[in-house]
Amino acid sequence: PYPVYEKLRKDDPIFKVMFPSGEFGWIISRYEDAVQILKDSRFSKDIVKRYGADGQSIFSSNMLFSDPPDHRRLRGLVQKAFTPKLVADMRSHIQSIADVLLDELPSQETMNLIDDFAFPLPIIVISEILGVPAEDRDKFRMWSNTVIEASTGQNAELFQQHEREFTEYLTAWFAKVRQEPGQDLISQLVIAEESGEQLTEKELLGVVSLLIIAGHETTVNLIGNGILALLEHPEQRDLLIQKPELIHQAIEEMLRYNGPVEFSTSRWASEDIEFRGQQIAKGELVIVALDSANRDEEQFKDPDVFDITREKSAHLAFGKGIHLCLGAPLARLEGEIAVSTLINRFPNMKLQIDVDTLEWRPGMIVRGVKEIPVLLK
Ligand code: HEM
C-alpha cells in the first residue's frame, strides 16, 4: 500500500471517500495531521451518539468506542492490569512460554511462523491475564478474525452468527466466574459489574471481547511483520544478533515500518470542522492511515528504509491521544521476547517461499500476513 500512501500524502492528504457502509468519510495520511486529529476531542468515538443504541454491537460497547467520561471509567477498570510495572514482572513467564512453543514445534526444520509461534504466544498470555482457557484459542481466533475482517463490509451474516457465539461463550464463562471468582482480570470485572455501579453487563462483554480481539489481531502481526522485515534485511538481523541491546529500537522500527494496525478505528465530526482547508461536515467519519503517517517523509528521514538503529522514532503504531493503546507495554515486551528468542535460536532462518507470494490479510484495520512458512536451519 505504501506507494498509494505516498501519493495520497503528496496530492490528497485529506482524502474524501465513500466507505463500504455507504457513509462519507475522510482518510488522513500525513503524520502531523494524524496527530492533530487523534488529539482533537471534536472528533468523537461515541457509537451510541452517532448511530443510536441499535448501532451498538458487543464489540463496540467499550472504551475504544466511547468518549469521556465513559471512556475514562471503562479504561480505568482495566488499566491497572496493564501498567508497565506489572507487565515487566511477566517477563520471565512470557520467556518460558516462547521457549516451550519453540521446544515443542512439530518439526525443528520448518515452521509456519504465524500459526506455530506468533499467534499462540500473545493468545496464551492474554488468556492467562483474563483467566479464560487458552485451549479455546481456536474459537477466539475465529471470532476475532470475523470481527476484524468485517471492516471489508462483507459477510454480515457470519458476523452476526459469530457475535452470537462469542456472546454466549462469554456469558456462560461469566456465570462460572461469578460462582467461583479467582485472581484474574475477568473476576475483577465481574465483581465490579455486580456492584452495580462501575459497568453494565453489556460493557463487561464489550471490554472482555475488546481485550481478546486486541490480544489476537495485533501482537501476532508485530511478531510476523517484524520477523519478515528481518528476513528481508539479513544485514539488520545480523546486527541485532551481534548487538542484542538494540532490541528495543528494533521493535519500535518494526512498529513504524509495517505497523500491525494499518488504519485507526473511525472517529466522527461532532460539529462542522474546517481542517486544513477541507470542510468536514458534522457526522462525517475520519480515519487515520497510521501506516502512512509512519512513512511520512516530513517526519522520518528515509522513511522506506528499515533501520533498527533509528533513534526516537515517535511512530503512531499505537495511536495517540486518549485512546493510545492500553496494551502497548505488553505488546512491546511480547515482541521483544518473541523476536530475540527466535533469531537467537534460529539465526539462519529463511523464508520458504518468495516474499511476493505471501498473502496479506483482508480488511482495512489489520496489516499482517496469513502464513509465513520458514526454513529454520
Ligand atoms: C487501542 C494498536 C496490542 C489493547 C489501540 C489503538 C491502536 C492500537 C492503534 C488505537 C486505535 C484508535 O485510536 O482508533 C496496537 C498494536 C498492538 C496492540 C499495534 C500490538 C503490536 C494490544 C494488546 C492489547 C491492546 C496486546 C491488550 C491486551 C488495546 C485497547 C485499546 C487499544 C484496550 C483501546 C484504548 C482506548 O480506547 O482507550 N491499539 N495494539 N492492544 N489497544 Fe492496542
Query: What mean pLDDT do residues 82-96 have?
Result: 91
**CA distance from start to end of the chain:** 32
Angle 219-232/234-242 helices, nearest 10 degrees? 100
Bridge partners (DSSP) listed for residue 24? 18
| Predicted pLDDT of residue 374 | 96
pLDDT band at 86 (very low <50, low <70, confident <90, very high): confident
Within the chain, what is the greatest distance between any pair of CA atoms?
59
Q: Looking at the CA of residue 260, tell me the nearest atom of ligand 1.
A: 19
| Predicted pLDDT of residue 214 | 87
Q: Which of 318, 320, 334 best tests ligand 1's pocket when mutated (most atoms within 8 Å of CB)?
A: 318
8 Å CB contact between 334 and 285: no
Measured in Å, residue 74 CA sits from the centre of ligand 1 at: 14
- CB of 63 within 6 A of ligand 1: the answer is yes
Measured in Å, residue 353 CA sits from the centre of ligand 1 at: 31
> Is the complex ipTM more than 0.95?
yes
Measured in Å, residue 1 CA sits from the centre of ligand 1 at: 22
Q: Which of 6-10, 35-39, 364-368 has the lowest mean pLDDT?
A: 364-368
| Phi, psi torsion values for 267, nearest 5 degrees | -110, 165
Residue 12's closest CA among 31, 23, 26? 26
pLDDT band at 151 (very low <50, low <70, confident <90, very high): low
- Domains and their CATH numbers in the chain: 2-375 (1.10.630.10)
| Predicted pLDDT of residue 153 | 58
| Predicted pLDDT of residue 119 | 92
- CB of 264 within 6 A of ligand 1: the answer is yes
| Predicted pLDDT of residue 362 | 79
Q: Atom 2, ligand 1: which residue's CA is nearest? A: 318
- CB of 319 within 6 A of ligand 1: the answer is yes
Query: What mean pLDDT do residues 263-286 have?
Result: 94
Measured in Å, residue 326 CA sits from the centre of ligand 1 at: 6
Bridge partners (DSSP) listed for residue 15? 27
pLDDT band at 213 (very low <50, low <70, confident <90, very high): confident
What tens digit of pLDDT does each residue of 40-79 get? 999 999 988 888 877 677 778 889 999 999 999 999 988 8
Q: Atom 39, ligand 1: which residue's CA is nearest? A: 325
Q: Atom 12, ligand 1: which residue's CA is nearest? A: 264
Q: How far apart are CA 125 and CA 116, in angstroms?
A: 15
Average pLDDT taken over every residue of the chain: 91
| Predicted pLDDT of residue 243 | 97
pLDDT band at 80 (very low <50, low <70, confident <90, very high): confident
- CB of 218 within 6 A of ligand 1: the answer is yes
